Amino acid sequence: MSSPLRILMTGVTGYIGGSILARFLEHPDFASFKITTLVRSPEKAEKIRALGVDAVVGSHNDSELMQSLTASNDVVFSTTDSDDHEAIIATLKGMKKRHDATGSVPILIHTSGTGFLIDDAKGLYATETIYDDLKSDQINALPDTQFHRNIDLEILRADEAGYIKSYIVLPSTIWGISDGPLVKKGIQNPISMQVPQLIRASLARGRAGMVGEGKNIWPDVNIDEVADLYVVLFNAIRANHNGVAHGREGYFFGESGEHTMYEVAKAIGEALVALGKSDNPEPSTFTKEEVDKYLGVSYFPTTYSVWKFSWTPNVTASHCHSVHVLQGSDYLGTNSRCSGNRPRALGWKPVKTKDDFLASIRAEVEYQINISK
């Protein structure tokens, strides 16, 4: 009998990671996998074990623990904070130990994001530049100072050294309220970040808002379909690991359409009016004070780092264990345009459109109203 494929998943209590694990619970080869997760909560760990998945209680910032876990697995899905330098260094050290001890080349499927592509538009224009993940030279020409880039470069260097094969997935604006088994059991965060942040700001000011004129463009993708992307990629690597691009060729954009931020703000405004929370469906521009108040400091209890933005797209970070903070940020006024042709070439077939995305926003507004109560 062959040994089970050993898989480590981090971030399974989060929006993306939980959705990926839910897909693996339904995978036809689930019984042949030995899946381990790392979570902070002993209560959630027990719930995960009840699903037939191992759970280790601990922190991603515990370097020795991360090295031990990653050294013990064939495949690592990294879906925690995509900018946690300490965690990715420990992950890579552990994977190198596995390579040195066994001669095998473990797989890292890392979650970055299309924030990697942002500019400084401040909502005033749409860029004409569209990045194609089949054009790796275009992507690799981006400055090292781009958002997420410092982490991605650590991974690419490890791939070039030959002790891992890396595949970097870059989801865009993910939408939809997740309702999978991990959500139902109280394990997983069910909502995204960008649109809920705009909704919370709009509710607080009594009118939908946008950065600048909302002319900037972002791609979007449904949460279930981006989870499918990870499974399609994983299956393709298992079937023919030499046939799937990795390292500097191995970028996979998760997008199924694109929108202007004005369109999103308008959908929020219409939902606010329909739900009796505003008397004007037309979005207005956030003032500088409102950007600082509502977009400058945003609390996401399922992530664990503090980010300080300046407007060159240059990021410095310090780490803590409580909240994720964006300070003085026009991030939601940036452009980030891309085409996810590489995952489509592997068989990924997203069908949700911008219209589906915009239609989903009312449910997101209702969700935020309900949790505020």
The pTM assigned to this predicted structure is 0.91
Q: How many CB atoms lie within 10 A of CB 257?
A: 17
- Give me the pLDDT at residue 86, please: 93
Is residue 359 situated within a structural domain?
no
In a domain, 362, yes or no: no
132 CB neighbour count, 10 Å cutoff: 15
Q: What are phi and psi of 242, to 5 degrees?
A: -80, -15
Token pair, residue 78, equals 């990294």
CATH, residue 30: 3.40.50.720
Question: What is the pLDDT, as a whole number, of residue 1?
Answer: 53
At residue 295, the pLDDT reads 86
Residue 170: per-residue pLDDT: 97
Task: Give domain status of residue 290, yes or no.
Answer: no
Tokens coding 34:
């030995």
Count how many domains the chain has.
1
Which pLDDT value is given to residue 316?
Answer: 32
Mean pLDDT by runs of 10 across the 373 residues of the chain is 90 97 98 97 98 96 96 97 90 98 97 93 97 96 89 96 98 97 97 95 97 98 98 97 94 97 98 98 96 66 31 32 44 96 98 98 97 85
Find the angle CA(9)-CA(320)-CA(71) to the nearest 5 degrees: 30
Within a domain: residue 236?
yes
Residue entry with tokens 């919370």: 200
28, 32, 38, 43 alpha-carbon torsion, rounded to 10°: 70
Please give the residue range of the domain that contains residue 104.
Answer: 5-119+130-190+221-254
pLDDT at 83: 84
